[in-house]
Structure 1
Amino acid sequence: METQVIVVGAGPAGLMLAYELTLAGVSAVVVEKRAEPSIQSRAGGLQPRTAEVLDLRGLLAPLLDGADVAEGHGGHFAGLPVPLDCSPWQTRYRGPVAVPQGRLERFLEQRLAERGGTVLRGHEVVSVSQNDSGTEIITGTGRTLRADFLVACDGAHSTVRKALGVPFPGRAGTARAVVADLVLATRSPEVLAFKSHFSQHIRTGGGYWTALSPLDGGGHRFMFSSVAGQAPPRDAPIADEEIRAALQAVYGPETELAEVRAASRFSNASRQVENYRAGRVFFAGDAAHIHLPVGGQGVNLGVQDAVNLGWKLAARLNGWAPPGLLGTYHAERHPVAARVLANTRAQGILLNPAADEDMAALRALVTELMRLPQANRHLSGMMAGLDIRYEHDADDHPLTGYRMPDLDLVTEEGVSRVSALTHDGRGLLLRFDHGIAVSAAGWEDRVREVPVKAADEVPAGAVLVRPDGQVCWAGSDPGGYAAALTRWFGSAG
């Protein structure tokens, strides 16, 4: 079987990447070792930037259709009792949108299928090779696939990464925990029956740290770990009795387990590949970086890896990529993940409310700081991925390198939003001042030009937005615009 891109791994990063590629007319095949999609909820919500990215492709509204979406509780940092408010970042989402990761994966796979994309399930990769002309994999079922490029999105224990001998430096896990989707037969008054800020769901007792929160459909997500750090090996089966012991130690014997739908172990391991590219192979999502899963940042990173790489890889395969475009994937995304690894290590220390008095004092101090508007804004932007600014020149417009806010607009076609103009995956030229001599003529296959009649805010005379929603030029200088246009979108025609 031959295709243009092989994507290994059908998690959020792999499925989003394949969707982006097919949107740009590039053929992609997703190879996944699991025979069926995971039924586990895993990450409990989408950070605001993930929601915005899905909005860029018109995917968020149908994803939320029929979902019991809880918004307004705010994000959290280290489980401390101060909601993070993202509204100062010019976003439509003040906090995470409560959609489980499992629902996102099933939705993306469905949308990919609607675009003619293929997901080969039950095919574990056993061999990976590459040369100057392409890549090849062989699966355990004996199937061979060849492609121009391969993207490894196959998780923390990436088979592709290991097969190529790519190092994964960092810190091994020092603490392990369990996350389970379960149904309760009975429950004590201490079990919250409603969704609230994450800090309200954290409890300790009997030597355990736990977080128990409701799921759609009447179930609960239960995270727990031993305060002393004792835990079975990562690959050890998770018995119902292990879950019941933690549950009743904290919530009492009247809280009885009825069913465990799914469960898995995780740790606070922190690792990152040194380069997101190895020849014709790229790394994204957990195959490129792992960290303590706190605050939904893993899904946020993976989805943004995908939209950053997707349009650039498509540009290369469609023949219009300017020199060095693919190299910007590593240059832009590696520092972002490195920062997440740093903040999750800090949160791992602060997260345990049952620690000693010194830690209690530190938690109290950080909590006090989080109530300061500027500190709250800083942490909310970092956790949500809203504060990311890619490389820019010192004399660039203040918006350059940042995400384009989803402004309300009036165009020649009527009332719209910025995100409604990017569903086809092209770049976007917004002309607020019609007197500026800038145009997308000759680049129409890559850039959509939209004269704006009115807007709730005019950020610049004109703004050039990349397909991933990041601003690559803003201002009124035609010379600066021409340079940015060719740098990011190649030559005309």
Structure 2
Amino acid sequence: MRNRLHAQVVVVGGGPVGMLLAAELGERGVDTVVLETKASVSERPKARVLHARALQGLARRGYFPELVGGTAPAGEKAEAPFRFAGIPGLCITAPASEPGPVLKCPQAELERLFEQRARAVGVRVLRGRRVTGVVQEERGVRVTVQGPAGCLEYAARYLVGADGGRSTVRELAGVPSESFRATTSGLAALVTLEDARELPPGWHRTPRGWIVAHDIPGVGTHVRTLDCSGPHPDRHLPPSTGELRAELARIAGREIAFREPRWLSRFSDFARLARSYRLGRVFLAGDAAHLHFPVGAQGLSTGVQDALNLGWKLALAVRGHAGGDLLDTYDQERRPAARRVIDNTVAQLALMRSEPGADSLRALFCGLVAADRESHHLSDLISGQDTVLPGRTRRPSAWTGRFLQNLGLRTGAGRTDVIGLLRPGRPVLLLFGWAGGRHAERARGWEDVVRTVHVAPTPDVPCEALLVLPDGYVAWAAAPDGDRLEDALSLYFGERSPRSGERAVMTGAGVLS
């Protein structure tokens, strides 16, 4: 008979998304276990860019405080150069009061950072574990695990698969997905060039394909090739050093000498999107939920935002403080974001092809990229700052679903800002001046979940009150003929008795059974 262990949430996958989610749960008091197949963090070069919206969300959870320069005048921006489909000139901007438009940080460093916090808040991180079975039941999920001590079984309230593009959880749980076949082939490798002048850092385009190179000081050169003429006949076949040499020479039109690669892998534009991020008590996050062509460095940031969206909702559900369908909003909010990423990477790839007409299309987009400094359409798309969540109330205001920029605020205890108020990980009800104060009594029944803060009025927020969710998005705003605060609070955090603040009977997916 298998040994049975217990946890409130099991997270499968110890990459950056799984570790961040586990840290979010652990910090909120949820008994969480992470199951990871690898014995240690992989140093293989992977993602290395965090975009603005992911950075902004992480800042509200206490990460990268050194990057937050304090409050700044409304409209003041910070900028970072970027590319769209390899076209230079794109300018990613973000409010100067936020941590910055772009952070370049190796994925391995992020994994260690998130794992350190997860362990510090009591998360059990178990490496060398492979999931072999998933069974959903009415009150939880049973997860069969093969590890150093043999076969074990975990009984959990919820299971999250953050185990990558070839997700075992997705397959075992039977979560259907929509896939898009590969039309290109690419190689990625970490090499040491015999002569660095033969392949300078940057994006190199020829009629035969692309070579992208960037130097990693003290480590080597990360090289990627892209052949847009068609997919590899077997994309699961491990590539060889000889194949890399031949492909570099074919695209560049000359031999590029390098020593034996430290790492070598294959990629393509194969894409996948789970048809739902939730199936009962099983959730998917990161590459397990969405996979796309790796252009624009959007995958890591999209996964980080998955974790920040799901973490607080799952914690409330475990504690019995979630509205009936709160957990369903994870799919409703994050799946469309991944669809936008897949769509924009398909568009970028169309610009990168060598087919007839591609040069004319690229010339047109060069002008559009340059003009984006004023419109911000492309830059906000890539950085995730165009995200507006769907309203859940009957009469949402213009603020509903928007991300609340970091603002300087004045309370009775002194000056603070939005980032500081959200750091504890709780929803915050901001009441502006005496007019906002009249909403305080209406929120009293939810004071064990929602933190109420009285602040001085500010021209940056021309309304009496805002209900801000832990990931920084506005759930409700006071507005003439708008929704009642009590209705919004009930929707997100469940019905409460108006007199005692006691929780009313709950039904639905978010209930603690």
Helix, strand or coil: the match of 1:169?
A: strand
Deviates more, 1:183-192 or 1:144-153: 183-192
1:79 aligned residue: 86
Match runs of 1:123-202 below 5 Å: 123-141=129-147, 142-188=151-197, 191-192=200-201, 201-202=202-203
Deviates more, 1:463-472 or 1:234-243: 234-243
Match runs of 1:77-476 below 5 Å: 77-87=84-94, 92=98, 95-141=101-147, 142-188=151-197, 191-192=200-201, 201-205=202-206, 207-217=208-218, 219-229=220-230, 231=232, 233-247=234-248, 256-258=257-259, 260-352=261-353, 355-373=354-372, 376-392=375-391, 395-436=395-436, 437-439=438-440, 440-453=443-456, 457-475=460-478
8 Å CA contact retained: 2:351, 2:358: yes
8 Å CA contact retained: 1:137, 1:146: yes
Helix, strand or coil: the match of 1:430?
A: strand
Separation of aligned partners in 2, 1:411 and 1:263: 55
Separation of aligned partners in 1, 2:283 and 2:451: 28
Separation of aligned partners in 2, 1:479 and 1:334: 26
Separation of aligned partners in 1, 2:181 and 2:372: 35
1:190 is displaced (CA, Å) by 5.0
8 Å CA contact retained: 1:44, 1:101: yes
User: Please, what is the CA RMSD of the aligned residues?
Assistant: 2.7
Separation of aligned partners in 2, 1:351 and 1:375: 24
Deviates more, 1:124-133 or 1:441-450: 441-450
1:312 is displaced (CA, Å) by 1.2
1:24 aligned residue: 28
1:322 is displaced (CA, Å) by 1.5
8 Å CA contact retained: 2:185, 2:230: yes
Q: Deviations over 1:256-304 (max 9, x none)?
A: 4246333322221122121221121111111111111222221122111
Helix, strand or coil: the match of 2:341?
A: helix
Separation of aligned partners in 2, 1:131 and 1:469: 33
2:72 aligned residue: none
Q: Which structure 1 residue ranges, 5 or more long, are not aligned? A: 65-70, 193-200
In structure 2, the CA distance between the partners of 1:62 and 1:257, relative to structure 1 (3 Å rule), is farther
Q: Which structure 2 residue ranges, 5 or more long, are not aligned? A: 69-77, 503-513
TM-score (norm 1): 0.89
Q: Deviations over 1:189-244 (max 9, x none)?
A: 6513xxxxxxxx11034834111012354533211123433646333333334334
Deviates more, 1:261-270 or 1:152-161: 261-270
Separation of aligned partners in 1, 2:275 and 2:361: 33
Percent same amino acid among aligned pairs? 37
Q: Output the amino acid matched with 1:431.
A: L
**Higher-strand-fraction structure:** 2
In structure 2, the CA distance between the partners of 1:235 and 1:425, relative to structure 1 (3 Å rule), is same
1:175 is displaced (CA, Å) by 1.6
1:36 is displaced (CA, Å) by 1.8
8 Å CA contact retained: 1:171, 1:271: yes
Q: Output the amino acid matched with 1:158.
A: S
Whether 1:10 and 2:14 are equivalent positions in the alignment is yes
Separation of aligned partners in 1, 2:17 and 2:254: 40
